[in-house]
Amino acid sequence: MRSPLASRNCSSTDSAGRFLRPFLLVFVLFYLIAAQELTVQAQRPEAARDFYPQSLDVQLRRIAESTAAEVQPIRDLCVILLNDINAIVHHLEHHPTESCPEWYRFEQSVKTLDTIRRSWRTRVSVESPYIPSAVALEEITLALERRLYVWRALFHAGIVETSPLTTLYGKTFADIDRLKARTLAVEQHFTKNGSKRPADVQTGQTWVKYLETHSWITDLEAARQPVDPSVRFVSLASPVIPVEILTMLSDRANTTVHRLASPSLTNEQRTFLNNPTVNAWWEELQSWTADTVIPLHILRLLEQYEATGGMSDMKAFAKFIDRLSVSKTAEYRQLGDNIRRQYEMPNVRIFLSNSLLNNHLPPTVREIAAFRDIIQSQPVVGRRQTETEMLVSFIPHPSRVLTSLDVGVDLATVTRADAFATQLYNTGQTLVIARKLVELTENGFRTEPAQARILEHQMRLVRMNTGFDGMPILSNLVRGAVRNQYEARYDDASTESQQKILQQVRNQIDRETERRLRPINEQIRMTSRYLDKEFDLRVEQRESRTDENWLLTAWGIQSRGALSSNTTAPATLPGTFADMKIHESLPNMLLGKLELEGKQGTVRDFKEMLAVKFQQPALADPEENDDVELMFASHNPVVVRFVDGRAELTISIAALRLLGKTHRNIQVIVRYKPAYDSEGRLVLERDNYISLINVVNVREQFVMRAAFGKIFPANRPFPLVPKIFESDPQYDYLTTGHCRLEKGWFALALVEKPKR
């Protein structure tokens, strides 16, 4: 590739050169400024080097230094908060056991800012789906509330005396063997203590599972295996036990001791555990308990994760939260649980309106059909006309997604019954209402048998034919006898007819509901299995709510050793039929499961891997620059952020081979923003130029921008309107809109299509 700056070597006329020179100078100046700005950003100290919330600092300074009219009332408040944060962080680091003079003012400032935020949120929902200053204020307030919560807990935990990890440094293999022997004795005590009744055996297995003795033995055997010489050794008595083993065994001991002393155990269970074998194990476990995490150290990981949002930092932060949650000290365990609640909120939220579901129900269904039946032991034939109307109702509930399918049936019949040379012709009219409850759960839609009742039922004899109609006297006698018998049996026949109608309606609703929900439930199960198998993600329903007009279902899609959402989702705006919101933690978990850390290959290799992993063959379509070679960084190789109305993709590359030259330690940032294409459809399009970090040379900037511009072409936006909306007439009135990317969330709504 030839650099445009080399145009001086190309043959051209003097006039052409004079024409191009100003543009070339502008381009050079632009890239020099961009390179300088990006270099400064790359030299910014990492948040993990101290306790200071660098990302929050940047947000507060942006408002404090803003000249926008709407932020003037809070500029001074932001400056006060910056000063208080500096003082509190310094106090946490150097005087964690003492009260902080600035704490009360900091709390009051956060409350004041939250009051302003609530008034601004109203403006956002009424005036516009996205007001940058209001969104920034919401992000800052939520970030302050998270720190307020964690710092308060740290001050409380900081005054507690702890048992440090250094108490374990004298452990030897003899200690491991002794702990294993006593653990094995406990397991045998519960499972092999002579002949027992089946109930006793089951009780013993329950205790083994509760105390996890089998996995304890497995871990202790693994601790005895040879270790890599590169692992750090810290044992003072035996220089072959690495700190990782000591930490793991200590965390397990903390958990088991806590279970043995759990306040939820009954007096009977405590008595059952009070025996010499368990007591000896308890004493041995006590010597292994220690606080393996100093609570203050978790601030470094918290701030690093807040600043980057990357999977590498998420894993490190989650690991420390896990260890803090099993700490020996009760206050530390509470701290770990509290922090987890802040960072394990739902990362998928779905709002669905009642009107959307009812818009897609079939219209009134009319059906005419012949039928045969037996009423009161008499065969009946005829025709019936059925009109069916359906309506979905939401059943208000604070913690469940409850809906009902309400069905109204208008049944008109014309029948003939034959009995002893007599034909009776009847007409009937029956009004039935039925209801079938449907609940959304983690495993799909759960239903209850349909319930039905009759509002009105009429049956009238309209004509009678007998075999004696040609005989006047006998005909009257027969007709009178038949009518008397008909009237005598009318109530029983009517009751039997109603019961059969109700049974038929219930069976039909149950069959139809099952037919429609079966493929949906199967798709839910397939998706859950796919996420578990390919990405080790588990799906949990975290929050549910139903009112008369809306239902909310919130889900936590999370992997082991990871976190989920830590912010509130954007508000659902007026004019919305449905709203789906996804937190950036979900795509980052998916990317983290690709295990790109330090992986190398060509662009083609990675595209093929993505196509297989995400089951999207089109991702592997050949394109220019597929042969570019790269090696991802070992830390946060790919990160997705949803901020400032943009979807920001950051790719960290350890080495890139391009045009025969290797570039090292660079970052590529590609941003996408919501826009509308030429046909008015919502898309995500690339926003301006691609940013390059740590690429100072102007010529290399041109070359690399050109290469990545073809990997992420500006002329290939991501469509945000489902294809079915264009192919299925029943969705003709719908489109997507209200696309919001803020506070780490991507939100997309279904709205009414504008009339042309």
What is the per-residue DSSP string for 172-193?
-HHHHHHHHHHHHHHHHHHH-S
Q: Write the DSSP symbol of residue 444.
A: E
Share of the chain above pLDDT 70, in %: 87
> Is-contact 448 517, C-beta < 8 A?
no
Whether the CA torsion 595, 599, 602, 605 is positive or negative: it is: negative
Average pLDDT, integer, range 741-754: 92
Return the pLDDT at 490. Answer: 85
Return the pLDDT at 127. Answer: 43
Confidence category of residue 30, pLDDT binned at 50, 70, 90: very low
Return the pLDDT at 628. Answer: 87
Q: Alpha carbon of 470 to those of 422, 476, 478, 492, 681: distances in Å?
A: 13, 10, 12, 31, 78
Q: With CA atoms as reference, report the closest residue to 58 among 646, 564, 643.
A: 643
Q: With CA atoms as reference, report the closest residue to 706 among 602, 632, 625, 591.
A: 625
Task: Give CA–CA dist 54/708, Å, rounded.
Answer: 30
pTM of structure: 0.81
DSSP 610-658: HHHHTT-GGGG---TTTT-EEEE-SS--EEEEEETTEEEEEEEEEEEEE
Structural tokens at position 523: 């798709």
Each residue of 436-469: pLDDT tens digit? 999 998 888 999 999 999 999 988 888 888 767 6
- Given the candidates 3.40.50, 3.15.10, 2.40.50, 1.20.140, the CATH classification of the domain at 569-752 is 3.15.10
* Residue whose pair of structure tokens reads 């029948």 in the numeric block: 415
Number of CB atoms found within 10 A of residue 535's CB: 18
Average pLDDT, integer, range 598-621: 89
- Which of left, alpha, beta for 309 (phi over 0: left; psi -120 to 50: alpha)? left
Average pLDDT, integer, range 662-668: 91
DSSP 339-379: HHHHH-B-SEEEEEEHHHHHHTS---EEEEEEEEEEETTEE
Written as one letter, the residue type at 582 is I
Task: Give CA–CA dist 432/421, Å, rounded.
Answer: 34
Own/partner contacts of 357-365, CB < 8 Å, gap of 24 or more, are 357/392, 357/403, 358/391, 358/392, 359/577, 359/733, 360/730, 361/390, 361/391, 361/392, 362/390, 364/388, 364/389, 365/389
**What is the C-alpha radius of gyration for the chain, rounded to an integer number of angstroms?**
36
What's CA 8's distance to the chain center, in Å? 55
Sequence-distant (6+) residues with CB within 8 A of 453 are: 432, 433, 434, 502
98, pLDDT greater than 90: no
Confidence category of residue 230, pLDDT binned at 50, 70, 90: low
> Is-contact 48 635, C-beta < 8 A?
no
Return the pLDDT at 401. Answer: 93
Sequence-distant (6+) residues with CB within 8 A of 414 are: 382, 383, 384, 425, 426, 427, 428
Number of H helices, E strands in the chain: 20, 20
Confidence category of residue 45, pLDDT binned at 50, 70, 90: very low
Question: β-strand 718-719 against 638-643: which pairing, if any?
Answer: unpaired
Written as one letter, the residue type at 339 is I
For residues 474 and 253, which has the higher predicted lDDT (pLDDT)? 253
Return the pLDDT at 744. Answer: 93
Question: β-strand 638-643 against 629-632: which pairing, if any?
Answer: unpaired
39, pLDDT greater than 50: no
Confidence category of residue 8, pLDDT binned at 50, 70, 90: very low
Average pLDDT, integer, range 506-528: 91
* Residue whose pair of structure tokens reads 């949906």 in the numeric block: 520
Q: Write the DSSP symbol of residue 329.
A: S
Each residue of 639-657: pLDDT tens digit? 999 988 899 999 999 999 8
Return the pLDDT at 16. Answer: 36
Q: With CA atoms as reference, report the closest residue to 430 among 503, 498, 367, 505.
A: 498
240, pLDDT greater than 80: no
Confidence category of residue 169, pLDDT binned at 50, 70, 90: confident
Return the pLDDT at 231. Answer: 58
Measured at the CA of 394, the angle between CA 393 and CA 399, to 5 degrees, comes to 160
> Is-contact 405 392, C-beta < 8 A?
yes
43, pLDDT greater than 90: no
Confidence category of residue 679, pLDDT binned at 50, 70, 90: confident
DSSP E strand stretches across 234-309: none
226, pLDDT greater than 90: no
Sequence-distant (6+) residues with CB within 8 A of 405 are: 390, 391, 392, 435, 436, 438, 509, 513
In the Cβ-directed half-sphere of 79, how many Cα atoms lie within 13 Å? 8
Confidence category of residue 605, pLDDT binned at 50, 70, 90: very high
For residues 133 and 596, which has the higher predicted lDDT (pLDDT)? 596
Task: Give CA–CA dist 140/146, Å, rounded.
Answer: 10
> Is-contact 673 687, C-beta < 8 A?
yes
Task: Give CA–CA dist 669/640, Å, rounded.
Answer: 10
Q: With CA atoms as reference, report the closest residue to 343 among 377, 301, 398, 284.
A: 301
Measured at the CA of 703, the angle between CA 702 and CA 707, to 5 degrees, comes to 115
> Is-contact 259 206, C-beta < 8 A?
no
Classified as helix, coil or strand, 586 is helix
Pick the range with the lowest mean pLDDT from 160-174, 513-527, 694-708: 160-174
723, pLDDT greater than 50: yes
Return the pLDDT at 200. Answer: 63
Task: Give CA–CA dist 625/106, Å, rounded.
Answer: 53
Average pLDDT, integer, range 468-492: 76
> Is-contact 589 616, C-beta < 8 A?
no
- The H or E element containing residue 685 is strand 682-686
Share of the chain above pLDDT 90, in %: 35
- Phi then psi for residue 395, to 5 deg, are -100, 110
Pick the range with the lowest mean pLDDT from 190-199, 243-252, 604-613: 190-199
Average pLDDT, integer, range 73-77: 87
Whether the CA torsion 265, 210, 345, 580 is positive or negative: it is: negative
Task: Give CA–CA dist 38/724, Å, rounded.
Answer: 43
What mean pLDDT is reported for the chain? Answer: 83
Structural tokens at position 97: 């056991």
Task: Give CA–CA dist 37/397, Å, rounded.
Answer: 53
DSSP 456-505: EEEEEEEEEEETTTTSHHHHHHHHHHHHHHHHHHHHHHHHHHHHHHHHHH
576, pLDDT greater than 90: yes
What is the domain partition of the chain in residue ranges? 4-42, 47-157, 167-343, 365-528, 569-752
Confidence category of residue 193, pLDDT binned at 50, 70, 90: low
Q: Alpha carbon of 219 to those of 122, 212, 216, 434: distances in Å?
A: 55, 11, 5, 58
For residues 440 and 39, which has the higher predicted lDDT (pLDDT)? 440
